[in-house]
Amino acid sequence: MLSDKMLSALNEQIKEELFSEYLYLSMSAWCDANDLPGMASFLKLKSEEERAHAMKFYNYILDRDGKITLLAIDKPQSEFNSFLDIFENQLKHEQKITGTIHKLYALSVEEKDYATQVMLQWFIEEQVEEEKEAKDIIQQCKKIGDNESALFLLDDRLGSQAPNTEEN
Ligand code: FEO
């Protein structure tokens, strides 16, 4: 049985993951509107990955006989300055999510909730991957500068690269 505190924090995390889904879809729409179809499709897949993260928490709460309480999702940012701005925002957002996952873990330790600690291990590892991926893309965006051919190649590469969804 989940403690009230743990249940409430897990329901809050569903909201965080669904907001991530919404934010990355908004980023994807910006890329589509700015002739970056590869980045648009990459971010749409990232958005779908976030939905899967939300559902992992959702299903875990049900497995522990907890009550799902869906919370209001904020409006995501819809204007960005450039593709570099998009990925810098994505990294900042992932760092914030890493913080929320770590807080959940700290709470599960405090509550002596061993099952939740095991469940959260996957997310702790996933956040390392997510932050690394965003940092790598930012580096590549910075190298591009005003080079249109290099931008075309990066856009094409991201479009053909499905994010790692094997464990979702
Ligand atoms: Fe669900 Fe990208 O963290």
Could you give the CA distance from residue 66 to residue 17 in angstroms, rounded to a whole number?
18
The CATH number of the domain holding residue 48 is 1.20.1260.10
Compute the distance from residue 127 Cα to the ligand 1 centre, in Å.
7
Pick from 22, 76, 89, 26: nearest CA to 50: 22
What's the whole-model pTM score?
0.93
Whether 166 maps to a domain, the answer reads no
Domain hosting residue 96, numbered range? 4-71+80-160
Number of domains within the chain: 1
Task: Count other Cβ atoms within 10 Å, centred on residue 30.
Answer: 20
Q: Is the CB of 93 under 6 A from ligand 1?
A: no
Q: Is the CB of 130 under 6 A from ligand 1?
A: yes
Could you give the CA distance from residue 65 to residue 60 in angstroms, rounded to a whole number?
9
Which protein residue's CA is at the shortest distance from atom 1 of ligand 1? 50
Q: State pLDDT tens for residues 38-82.
A: 999 999 999 999 999 999 999 999 999 999 999 999 999 999 999
Query: Where is average pLDDT lowest: 39-43, 109-113, 129-133, 162-166?
Result: 162-166
Could you give the CA distance from residue 105 to residue 125 in angstroms, rounded to a whole number?
12
Whether 11 maps to a domain, the answer reads yes
Whether 47 maps to a domain, the answer reads yes
What SS3 state is found at 78?
coil
